[in-house]
Amino acid sequence: MNTRLVLLVDVGNSACKWAWLTAAGLQHHAALAYEDERFSYQYLLEQWQTAGEITDILVAAVANNDVVFQVLHELSSQTHRQIKRLSSSEHAAGVKNAYQHADKLGVDRWLAMIAAKNQLQSAVCVVDCGTAMTIDIIAADGQHLGGQIIPGMQMMANALHNSTALLPQVTSYEDAGCLGKDTDSCISQGIRTALSGAVNSVMSENQHIGPLQGIITGGNGSKIMSMLKGNWQYRPHLVLEGMAVLAKMNNKGDVE
């Protein structure tokens, strides 16, 4: 492990995130939205060529961004390293998948759960608040009990704007108190309340399995965290952390 330099790439719906796994752990976390003006083949190639001699390339993708995969295939050709694309499995790293068809569970959810359960011994509620918001419950023994998928902040705001004649397009979701004082803040607070309320409801409904710890990730996770009940921690790189767990275990069963 001392000589390994593993490139971990999380290809999401709205952005690409990456980090390097070395003997010292995860390093040089970065993220780039697809709408960012810097997002290009050349920029990503430069970012991923500069760290040193790559020994492994691990990818988790819920979207097939052409630019990202063109760069990955170029790196693979240069380094003679095969791209290992992670997928959800029946069980890995102490977590057992609740889905009847394990591979149908989004790999981002699977990796987030693996990371969370490998950090906490108790039952865990894992929330990823990104383009969509997902909620998953894992019992203390590692059994995934299931979850929910909910439209994310911008998706909700877009629906309100596109489905009505007068409601504005909202893009800011800062805390303005419980009740908004103008249309923008009313929409913003309504969305934050809807998302946090869903999480609080799931937490409440699953108290019977024992004390629940909460871990939240995703680009909008910090915007609802103050409204969540119970013990919560924000971990922005949770999916990459889950990838690192599998990379360290060298669990071939989870690599296509």
Q: At what angle do helices 107-117 and 238-249 cross, to 10 degrees?
A: 80
Active site residues: 108
- Residue that is written with structure tokens 């694309």 in the block: 85
Residues 6+ apart with CB under 8 A from 28: 19, 20, 51
Q: What is the pLDDT of residue 47?
A: 92
Domain 6-85 falls under CATH 3.30.420.40: yes
Q: Torsion-angle region of residue 224: left (phi > 0), alpha (psi -120 to 50) or beta?
A: alpha
Return the structure tokens found at 235.
């971990």
Question: CATH 3.30.420.40 residue ranges in the chain?
Answer: 6-85, 121-238
Task: Decide: helix, strand or coil at residue 216.
Answer: strand
* Position 250 pLDDT exceeds 90: no
Q: What is the pLDDT of residue 173?
A: 84
* Position 242 pLDDT exceeds 60: yes
Q: What is the pLDDT of residue 176?
A: 72
Determine what percent of the chain is predicted with pLDDT higher than 70. Answer: 96
Instruction: Identify the band that residue 23 occupies on the pLDDT scale cut at 50, 70 and 90.
Output: confident
Taking residues 91-107, report their average pLDDT: 97
Q: Mean pLDDT score of the chain, rounded to an integer?
A: 92
Q: What is the pLDDT of residue 1?
A: 41
CA angle 104, 139, 200 (to 5 degrees): 85
Instruction: Identify the band that residue 254 occupies on the pLDDT scale cut at 50, 70 and 90.
Output: very low
pTM over 0.75: yes
* Position 55 pLDDT exceeds 70: yes
Return the structure tokens found at 200.
């609080």
The domain defined by 121-238 folds into Nucleotidyltransferase; domain 5 (3.30.420)
Taking residues 219-237, report their average pLDDT: 94
The backbone torsions φ and ψ at residue 2, rounded to the nearest 5 degrees and listed phi first, read: -65, -25
Task: Decide: helix, strand or coil at residue 133.
Answer: strand
The backbone torsions φ and ψ at residue 125, rounded to the nearest 5 degrees and listed phi first, read: -105, 120
